[in-house]
């Protein structure tokens, strides 16, 4: 037995990021088993193990960037050191043979493809590179007459396991296309012809031949120099300052939360700020790992695409940039790829196509290219929620961008976590009128909270079949007890109003009637039962309605509830509530008792399934069987989602709640 370091094969010139490690220390693997998955902005590929054996040590981690020759894992393989040396010596020999065989092909290809043009231009065949087995063309990205740059996508291929874009090897004009969507192609098939700039005649052929001869001799020195360059860059690299800017978010949005401070050490993809439009919110992640040295924004600022958020100081370690700065080294490879699209047929580098499908939440698979996946990660978007528009349900870059823009404008259902306000009802909007014809008018924009409230209420009203159950609760004894304890509560820092009693009673009732502590999923077939009791309290503020949530109300005393409600109320009035303090409610209480009224029909705060409306308590004559007695009666109005709650259960709930409020000793049972 001997150990051997498995290295990254030839993957092109630039460093590539590791997005997945498929093995762990101690795993026993076979030859061709995937070790890691690499991803650039255009493609992704698995790097297979050239040998079978036991993984002794994983030498890389997810997020690392690697290039040809970097160590991946230390592998314990069968056979002694001599056997290992023989294999190591055999590998270069195998690689030299194709290089010698390919050289003549590379010399001949331009001669066959190039056709001299009178105007100093030539027409070149564009062929399918080495893609392994045949694949179907699912998209053609160009048309005859289009001007394209080198590396622009021409067609998109898809097999049953992966998809890839085939780029143009030249810049020029597409003069003919030989394929169409649905065709099945394989290596060497002609995609079309491109007209490229040239000097014509034999000079062109000689110039086209020159690079084909050079790569075989120059590839080895270049591969040896690359790791050295990387090592020098890692040793000598100075910290670099990178500006972090707002990505494409559509219209401008307000910053409602800043998650970092100057001096914080952050990782790539850590949230920096949270943006909120009128109807949705999203986190903006950091594209870099490093130290935040400058913050250019503050809460309340309105930002749009391209605005600077701050500056991150990154370590001057190994990056793709140093290699891009040396075009003289990468030039031979670039020319090689133009003259011969399939430079290597080795299994280790053949899978240039990326896995086009990944498991989604609902068990289906999402079809998307690596550039689309990278864009989705930058925005923090779940591709399973993005409606695809490409062939065969493929998600395109434009789909992700449109999804983010709609999320911030309130048009994307997944961004807000609920159905759109219309709910597909097709109800025509109320037409605008020119009210100035009737008299003097003044137009004022709705506030942010007012607009959010209007949207949420409208969404609930058109999606939830509302029913309201009415009940009167006799709170005569409760009110007497409350008044007797008022001074004692104030001494303990709590203001004892009727509302804490209502919160406690509702929490108690939810434990007795768990069918009210549920939410319906958007598929209309699944019900989520909650094992916690969080109560939302509607608060009237100058800016609009807000609903802070009191958590674990069933586990708190009346005085604890009173103190926490007062704190949440102050935060609501001063607009300092955090998002986590306004989410997760099981049921909401909307009390108008301090204002007046005898009853009303509150709108369910979806995805909750019930809301309790409370009106002003009044002294009323109540028949006790012998005579009328003056009793303090509190009107209760319970609106509920009839899809989740039966009418009989609603009547039982309000009757039980009324009995608890009439005799609060029941809370002790």
The CA distance from 198 to 120, in Å, is 5
The CA distance from 297 to 231, in Å, is 37
- CA distances 170 to 59, 123, 232, 341, Å, are 38, 11, 33, 11
Catalytic residues: 642
Tokens of 359: 């498991």
Phi, psi dihedral angles at 18 (to 5 degrees): -85, 120
- Identify whether the C-beta of residue 603 lies closer than 8 Å to the C-beta of residue 579: no
The CA distance from 290 to 111, in Å, is 51
| 223 closest CA partner among 129, 318, 332 | 332
| 255 closest CA partner among 270, 273, 238, 269 | 273
Neighbour tally for 539: CB within 10 Å:
20
Place of tokens 């040896």: 224
Residues in the chain: 669
- Identify whether the C-beta of residue 383 lies closer than 8 Å to the C-beta of residue 397: no
- Identify whether the C-beta of residue 57 lies closer than 8 Å to the C-beta of residue 73: yes
Ramachandran category for residue 57: left, alpha or beta (phi over 0 → left; psi -120 to 50 → alpha): beta
Decide the pairing of beta strands 365-368 and 394-395.
Answer: parallel
Query: Apex CA 611: angle with CA 609 and CA 612, to 5°?
Result: 145
- Identify whether the C-beta of residue 7 lies closer than 8 Å to the C-beta of residue 71: yes
Tokens of 590: 């909307």
- CA distances 629 to 12, 232, 594, 616, 633, Å, are 91, 93, 24, 19, 12
């Amino acid at each position: 037995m001997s150990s051997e370091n498995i290295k990254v094969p030839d993957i092109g010139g630039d460093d590539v990021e590791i997005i997945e490690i498929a093995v762990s220390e101690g795993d026993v693997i076979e030859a061709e088993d995937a070790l890691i998955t690499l991803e650039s902005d255009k493609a992704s590929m698995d790097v297979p193990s050239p040998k079978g054996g036991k993984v002794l040590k994983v030498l890389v981690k997810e997020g690392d960037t690697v290039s040809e020759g970097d160590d991946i894992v230390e592998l314990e393989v069968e056979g002694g050191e001599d056997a290992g040396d023989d294999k190591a010596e055999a590998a270069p020999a195998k690689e030299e043979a194709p290089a010698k065989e390919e050289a003549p092909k590379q010399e001949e290809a331009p001669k066959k493809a190039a056709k001299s043009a009178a105007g100093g231009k030539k027409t070149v065949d564009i062929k399918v590179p080495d893609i392994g087995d045949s694949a179907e063309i699912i998209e053609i990205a160009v048309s005859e007459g289009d001007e394209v740059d080198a590396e622009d996508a021409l067609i998109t291929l898809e097999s049953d396991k992966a998809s890839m874009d085939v780029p143009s090897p030249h810049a020029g004009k597409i003069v003919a296309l030989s394929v169409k969507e649905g065709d099945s192609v394989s290596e060497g098939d002609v995609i079309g012809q491109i007209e490229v700039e040239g000097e014509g005649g034999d000079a062109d052929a000689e110039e086209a031949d020159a690079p084909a001869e050079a790569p075989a001799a120059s590839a080895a020195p270049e591969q040896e120099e690359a790791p050295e360059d990387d090592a020098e860059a890692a040793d000598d690299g100075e910290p670099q300052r990178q500006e972090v800017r707002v990505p494409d978010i559509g219209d401008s949005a307000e910053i409602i939360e800043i998650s970092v401070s100057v001096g914080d050490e952050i990782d790539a993809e850590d949230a920096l700020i949270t943006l909120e439009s009128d109807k949705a919110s999203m986190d903006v992640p950091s594209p870099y790992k490093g130290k935040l040295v400058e913050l250019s924004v503050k809460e309340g600022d309105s930002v749009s695409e391209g605005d600077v958020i701050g500056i991150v100081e990154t370590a001057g370690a190994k990056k793709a940039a140093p290699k891009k700065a040396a075009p003289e080294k990468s030039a031979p490879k670039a020319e090689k790829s133009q003259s011969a699209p399939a430079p290597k047929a080795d299994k280790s580098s053949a899978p240039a196509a990326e896995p086009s499908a990944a498991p989604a939440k609902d068990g289906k698979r999402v079809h998307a290219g690596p550039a689309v996946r990278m864009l989705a990660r930058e925005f923090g978007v779940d591709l399973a929620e993005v409606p695809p528009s490409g062939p065969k349900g493929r998600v395109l870059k434009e789909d992700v961008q449109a999804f983010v823009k709609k999320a911030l404008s309130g048009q994307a259902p997944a961004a807000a976590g609920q159905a759109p306000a219309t709910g597909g009802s097709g109800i025509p909007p109320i037409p605008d009128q020119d009210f100035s014809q009737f008299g003097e008018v003044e137009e004022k924009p709705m506030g942010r909270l007012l607009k959010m409230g209007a949207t949420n209420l409208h969404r609930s009203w058109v999606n939830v079949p509302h029913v309201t159950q009415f009940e009167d609760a006799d709170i005569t004894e409760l009110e007497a007890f409350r008044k007797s304890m008022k001074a004692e509560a104030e001494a303990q820092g709590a203001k004892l109003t009727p509302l804490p009693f209502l919160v406690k009673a509702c929490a108690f009732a939810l434990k007795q009637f768990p069918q009210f502590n549920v939410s319906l999923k958007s598929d209309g077939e699944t019900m989520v039962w909650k094992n916690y009791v969080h109560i939302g309290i509607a608060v009237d503020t100058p800016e609009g309605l807000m609903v802070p949530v009191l958590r674990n109300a069933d586990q708190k005393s009346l005085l604890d509830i009173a103190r926490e409600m007062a704190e949440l109320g102050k935060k609501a009035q001063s607009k300092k509530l955090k998002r986590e303090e306004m989410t997760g409610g099981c049921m909401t209480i909307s009390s108008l008792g301090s204002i007046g009224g005898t009853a009303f029909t509150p709108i369910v705060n979806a995805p909750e399934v019930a809301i309790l409306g409370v009106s002003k308590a009044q002294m009323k004559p109540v028949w006790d069987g012998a005579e009328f007695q003056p009793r303090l009666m509190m009107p209760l109005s319970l609106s509920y989602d009839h899809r989740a709650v039966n009418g009989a259960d609603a009547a039982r709930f309000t009757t039980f709640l009324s009995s608890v409020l009439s005799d609060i000793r029941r809370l002790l049972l």
